[in-house]
C-alpha cells in the first residue's frame, strides 16, 4: 500500500489497508539541562530540510508560562514580542519558524499554559464537562492535544513540528509532556510521532573533555515520564567526538546515527546543512516510513552561500547603529538582526551592528556615539526612557545625510524631531510622553477593531498600506501601489497636523486604506530617510528580505563609498 501527499512524498503506513493517509505525523522537539539551547533553531532546521524533500510542514510552539501570550512580557526578560498576520503577539521562536519555513502562521500556532487553562475554565463555566471534576488529566491534556491536532488539520500539512518550551523536569512543562506522550500513543506510535531531544554536552575547562552526564540524566528524566527519544541533538561548543557520540548512543539507547552533533555555528542558517550532513533527514524519513524524493533548495542554498561569503570574504561592509532601549538583551531585536542578515545576503554587503542604548544618547549626545556609522535604525518600543536621545540621533542622521530607517516608535520620533527642529514647533512631542504639549504631533490612535485582552486599543497584525506615486517607498517595494505589513502600536501621527507637516517638506507616502493613518514618511533631498509606522522586520525572509532594511543596507553601502572619496 502506498500513500501520496499533495507534493509527491510517499507514506507507507505499517498495516494500512486503504490508499489514504492514516493519520497526521508529528515531530516533537524537547529540551533538557537548560533553556536557550536552540530547540527552536533545531525544529526550524528540521522543518527546512523536510520542506526541501517536498513535504509540507507547519509548526507549533508550546510556551509553559501562565501568560496567555507574549504581549505583556518585558523584552528584557523574554526578548522581542513577535507579531503575526492575525495580530497574535507571540514568542520570538515563531519568527524563526516563519523565516525558515517561509510560512505565515497564526495565533493558534502558539500554545501557552494561560491559553489552555483559560479555555478549560471557560468550558467548565459553560457546563461543557457536564458536572465532572475538571482535572489536569484528562481535561488539560485533552485541550493541549486538540490544539495541536487542530493546527495540523487546518494547515493540511504533512508533518506538524511541535517545540515544547522549557526543559524536561520543569513543573510548568509536566502537563504538556504528558499530553505529547498521549499523542504518541493515539497517533499510532513511531511511524507517526517522533521525539527529538535537544540537550547539552558541556566541556570542562580544566580537562577539556566533553561530558555526557547532563545528557544521560536528561534522557533518564524524559524516559521516566514515558517518552523515549528517537533522536538526540547534542549541543556544544564543538563537534562531538566519536567516542562521546558512541557513549551517548549506548547510555541513551538510540542508534549511533540518531545522535546528531550541533556545534556552535556562525549563523543559524548554517544549521540545516550541519544536520543534513549527518544524515538526519534520511533517518527521520526512514523512521517515519516516508519515502520522499530529493527536491531542490536552490534559493535557500544561494542565500546560505551568500551568508558564508559575507562572513568570510565580504564584497563590502557597512556599520549600522541600532539605537534602542533594550539593547542589553539582543533578542529584543531578533527580527531586525535577521532582517539585516537577509538584506546583507541579497545586497552582498556584510552588516556590522553598533548597539547604542537610548539613555546613553540622552547623556552623551549623538555626535560621539554615532560618529563613523554608515546607517541608523531607530526601532520600536514603549515608554519615554531614552526617547530624547533617540530624537537627537534622528537629528544627527538627518543633518549629516546618514541613511536612516525609523520603525514604529522610530517613525513617531522622526516626525517629532522634524516638527521641533525644522518647523520650529518648540516642545512638539507625542502625547504618550507629554500630555500637555502644545504640539501633540503624535497622539493616541482613534478607536478601531484591534482591542487587546486588556481592553486597550492597539493596532495589531497585517494591514494594507496604499503608496502614493513617485516616491521612495514605491521604488523599494518594486512599484507596488499597495503593500501589507504588520503593526503593533497605540500612537500615530495626529491628523490635525498632517497638512502643515507635509507643506513643510516631510512627505507621508504611505497611508492606511481609509487614508486616515500615516504609515510612511520620507524626506526629499536625503539619500535615505525612511520612517515607517509598521514593523517590516516581521515579514523579512531569507529569500525575500524586508524591503526597507534592504534599502537601508544599500543606501549605507553607497554612503560609505562616497565618504571614502
Q: Is 535 a catalytic residue?
A: yes
**Cβ atoms of residues 218 and 199 within 8 Å:** yes
- Closest by alpha carbon to 304, among 348, 345, 261, 349? 345
Question: Which H helix or E strand runs over 504?
Answer: helix 498-504
pLDDT at 18: 31
**CA atoms of 7 and 148, how far apart (whole Å):** 22
User: Which residue is catalytic, options 252, 408, 492, 522?
Assistant: 408
Tens of pLDDT along 330-369?
Answer: 889 999 999 999 999 999 999 999 999 989 998 898 999 9
User: In what helix (H) or strand (E) does residue 520 lie, and over which residues does it extend?
Assistant: strand 518-523
Which three-class secondary structure state does DSSP give residue 317? strand
**Dist. CA 362–CA 376, nearest whole Å:** 16
- Nine-digit cell string for 161: 513540528
- Give me the phi and psi of 492, to 5 degrees please: -155, 180
pLDDT in tens, the chain (565 residues): 344 454 445 555 444 333 334 478 999 999 988 888 889 999 999 999 999 999 999 999 999 999 999 988 888 888 899 999 999 999 999 999 999 999 999 999 999 999 999 999 999 999 999 989 999 999 999 999 999 999 999 999 999 999 999 899 899 999 999 999 999 999 988 899 999 999 999 998 777 889 999 999 999 999 999 999 999 999 999 999 999 999 999 999 999 999 999 999 989 999 999 999 999 999 999 999 998 877 777 888 888 888 888 888 888 999 999 999 888 888 899 999 999 999 999 999 999 999 999 899 988 989 999 999 999 999 998 888 889 999 999 999 999 999 999 999 999 999 999 999 999 999 999 999 999 999 999 998 766 545 444 445 789 999 999 999 999 999 999 999 999 999 999 999 999 999 999 999 999 999 999 999 999 999 988 999 999 999 999 999 999 999 999 999 999 999 999 887 6
3-state secondary structure of 304: helix
Q: Is residue 193 flagged as an active site residue?
A: no
Instruction: Count CB atoms within 10 A of the CB of residue 455.
Output: 6
Identified catalytic residue from 139, 197, 535, 549? 535
Of the residues 191, 342, 537, 549, only one is catalytic, namely: 537
Q: Cα(213)–Cα(516) distance, rounded to whole angstroms?
A: 61
Using CB atoms within 10 A of its CB, is residue 353 exposed (0-12), middle (13-18) or buried (19+)? middle
pTM beyond cutoff 0.85: yes
| Rounded distance between C-alpha atoms, residue 533 and residue 458, angstroms | 13
Residues in a beta bridge with 366? none
Helix, strand, or coil (residue 30) = strand
Q: How far apart are CA 336 and CA 545, in angstroms?
A: 11
408 is catalytic: yes
In the chain the domains, ranked by start, together with CATH numbers, are: 23-295 (3.40.50.300), 312-447+491-564 (3.40.50.880)
Q: How far is CA 44 from CA 93, 201, 221, in A?
A: 9, 21, 25
- Contact predicate 514/454, CB 8 Å: no
User: CB-side exposure of 376: number of CA atoms within 13 Å?
Assistant: 36
Q: In degrees to the nearest 10, what's the CA dihedral of 181, 182, 184, 185?
A: 130
Amino acid at each position: 500500500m502506498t500513500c501520496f501527499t499533495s507534493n509527491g512524498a510517499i507514506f507507507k503506513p505499517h498495516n494500512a489497508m486503504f490508499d489514504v493517509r492514516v493519520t497526521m505525523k508529528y515531530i516533537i522537539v524537547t529540551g533538557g539541562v537548560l533553556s536557550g539551547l536552540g530547540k527552536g533553531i533545531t525544529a526550524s532546521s528540521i522543518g527546512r530540510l523536510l520542506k526541501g524533500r517536498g513535504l509540507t510542514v507547519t509548526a507549533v510552539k508550546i510556551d509553559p508560562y501562565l501568560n496567555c501570550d507574549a504581549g505583556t512580557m518585558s523584552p528584557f526578560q523574554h526578548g522581542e514580542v513577535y507579531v503575526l498576520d492575525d495580530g497574535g503577539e507571540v514568542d520570538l521562536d515563531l519568527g524563526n519558524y516563519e523565516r525558515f519555513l517561509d510560512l505565515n502562521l497564526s495565533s493558534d500556532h502558539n500554545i501557552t499554559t494561560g491559553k489552555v487553562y483559560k479555555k478549560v475554565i471557560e468550558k467548565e463555566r459553560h457546563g461543557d464537562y457536564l458536572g465532572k471534576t475538571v482535572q489536569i488529566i484528562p481535561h488539560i491534556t485533552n485541550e493541549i492535544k486538540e490544539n495541536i491536532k487542530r493546527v495540523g488539520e487546518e494547515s493540511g500539512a504533512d508533518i506538524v513540528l511541535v517545540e515544547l518550551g522549557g526543559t524536561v523536569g520543569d513543573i510548568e512543562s509536566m502537563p504538556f509532556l504528558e499530553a505529547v506522550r498521549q499523542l504518541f500513543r493515539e497517533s499510532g506510535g513511531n511511524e507517526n510521532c517522533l521525539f527529538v531531544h535537544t540537550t547539552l554536552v558541556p566541556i570542562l575547562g580544566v580537562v577539556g573533555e566533553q561530558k555526557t552526564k547532563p545528557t544521560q540524566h536528561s534522557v533518564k528524566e524524559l524516559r521516566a515520564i514515558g517518552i523515549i527519544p528517537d533522536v538526540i541533538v547534542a549541543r556544544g561548543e564543538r563537534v562531538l567526538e566519536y567516542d562521546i557520540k558512541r557513549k551517548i548512543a549506548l547510555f541513551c539507547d538510540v542508534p549511533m546515527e540518531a545522535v546528531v552533533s550541533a556545534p556552535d555555528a556562525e549563523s543559524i542558517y548554517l544549521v540545516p546543512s550541519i544536520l543534513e550532513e549527518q544524515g538526519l533527514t534520511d533517518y527521520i524519513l526512514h523512521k517515519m516510513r516516508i519515502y520522499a524524493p530529493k527536491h531542490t533548495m536552490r534559493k535557500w542554498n544561494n542565500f546560505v552561500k551568500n551568508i558564508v561569503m559575507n562572513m568570510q570574504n565580504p564584497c563590502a561592509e557597512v556599520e549600522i547603529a541600532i539605537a534602542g532601549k533594550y539593547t542589553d538583551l539582543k533578542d529584543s531585536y531578533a527580527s531586525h538582526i535577521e532582517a539585516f542578515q537577509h538584506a546583507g545576503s541579497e545586497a552582498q554587503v556584510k552588516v556590522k551592528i553598533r548597539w547604542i542604548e537610548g539613555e546613553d544618547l540622552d547623556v552623551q549626545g549623538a555626535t560621539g556615539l554615532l560618529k563613523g556609522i554608515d546607517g541608523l535604525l531607530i526601532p520600536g518600543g514603549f515608554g519615554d526612557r531614552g526617547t530624547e536621545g533617540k530624537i537627537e540621533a534622528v537629528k544627527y542622521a538627518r543633518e549629516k545625510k546618514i541613511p536612516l530607517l525609523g520603525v514604529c516608535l522610530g517613525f513617531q520620533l522622526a516626525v517629532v524631531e522634524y516638527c521641533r527642529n525644522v518647523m520650529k514647533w518648540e516642545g512638539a512631542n507625542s502625547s504618550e510622553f507629554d500630555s500637555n504639549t502644545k504640539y501633540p504631533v503624535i497622539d493616541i490612535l482613534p478607536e478601531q477593531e484591534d482591542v487587546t485582552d486588556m481592553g486597550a486599543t492597539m493596532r495589531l497584525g497585517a494591514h494594507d498600506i496604499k503608496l502614493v506615486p513617485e516616491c521612495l517607498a514605491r521604488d523599494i517595494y518594486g512599484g507596488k501601489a499597495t503593500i501589507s505589513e504588520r503593526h503593533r502600536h497605540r500612537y500615530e501621527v495626529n491628523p490635525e497636523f498632517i497638512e502643515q507637516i507635509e507643506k513643510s517638506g516631510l512627505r507621508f507616502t504611505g497611508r492606511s486604506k481609509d487614508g486616515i493613518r500615516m504609515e510612511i514618511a520620507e524626506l526629499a533631498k536625503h539619500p535615505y530617510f525612511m520612517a515607517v509606522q509598521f514593523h517590516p522586520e516581521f515579514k523579512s525572509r531569507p529569500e525575500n528580505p524586508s524591503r526597507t532594511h534592504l534599502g537601508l543596507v544599500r543606501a549605507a553601502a553607497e554612503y560609505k563609498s562616497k565618504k571614502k572619496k
